[in-house]
Amino acid sequence: MKYEFTIIIPVYNESESLKRLEEMLLEYLKKASKKTCVILVDDGSTDGSTEMIREISDRNQDIYRILFQENAGKGAALKAGFEATTSPLLGYMDADLQTHPEDFERLLVFANDYELVTGWRQVREDTGVKKISSLVGNKVRGLFINDGIHDTGCPLKVIHTQNAKQIPMFTGLQRFIPAMILLQKGRIKEVPVPHYPRSAGVSKYSFKNRFLGPLFDCFGYVWMKKTYINYHIKEKNTK
């Protein structure tokens, strides 16, 4: 079946959210403006999420699965989803439902004109610690990267698949997607999207992985920016 849009959802220990996630995905698939499928990428869950993902994908023809043998991180889960995508456009969201699949429609209207359309959570429904660590993390990334993005970590994005597949694999990939699209000379559009409070499960984020990890990753990005190879083929004649 030929799809126009693929939604990638990394999952790590989100068993309490998966039933509602399935319901919301099925509601969206019925009314999506593009023929859409979903890839659930289980990142080595240990709470029963793996079995639930297998059951969800078995009973729904437009929902597929990738199951990691062990926890490899969100960046790895996204990269696996990127590589498995065959549609011209892909998007991703988190499994915690703090963003909703129906809000992809807010982004898709701009997808023809931009290589990346990214959400901007102007009003955050998070704990105080999470808000502060995200704010500080965004400020630090802004100093290093200067990509002009207000909310680079928003887990609601639409990307041209060919651009997503060119993003190199590295830890913390999800924090640098706008910057990596800019390295490809891609165009970016930020669109305000709703943000919802977590209603089930437990957040996986802490000050360490919200601030310290991204801080160290920024040094790696600076090196990558200096050495990044970017080219566009004008013509080729190969077998």
pLDDT over 90 percentage in the chain: 59
pLDDT of 220: 66
Closest CA to 16 of 201, 196, 199, 197: 201
Q: Does residue 99 or residue 196 have the better pLDDT?
A: 99
Q: Kindly report the CATH number that applies to the domain delimited by 5-227.
A: 3.90.550.10
| Averaged pLDDT for residues 58-77 | 96
The DSSP annotation for 1-24 comes to ---SEEEEEEESS-HHHHHHHHHH
Assigned token pair, 9: 């959802």
Tens of pLDDT, residue by residue over 119-167, are: 998 876 555 555 555 666 666 666 666 677 888 888 899 999 999 999 8
Tens of pLDDT, residue by residue over 202-217, are: 665 555 555 556 666 6
Average predicted confidence (pLDDT) for the chain: 85
C-beta of residue 124 within 8 angstroms of C-beta of residue 134: yes
Residue for token digits 């992809």? Answer: 104
Domain positions in the chain are 5-227
Closest CA to 7 of 126, 107, 143, 141: 107
Write the burial class of residue 123 (CB in 10 Å: 0-12 exposed, 13-18 middle, 19+ buried). exposed
Using the predicted structure, report yes or no on whether residue 94 has a pLDDT greater than 70.
yes
Q: How confident is the model at residue 110 (pLDDT cuts 50, 70, 90)?
A: very high
Q: Give this prediction's pTM.
A: 0.82
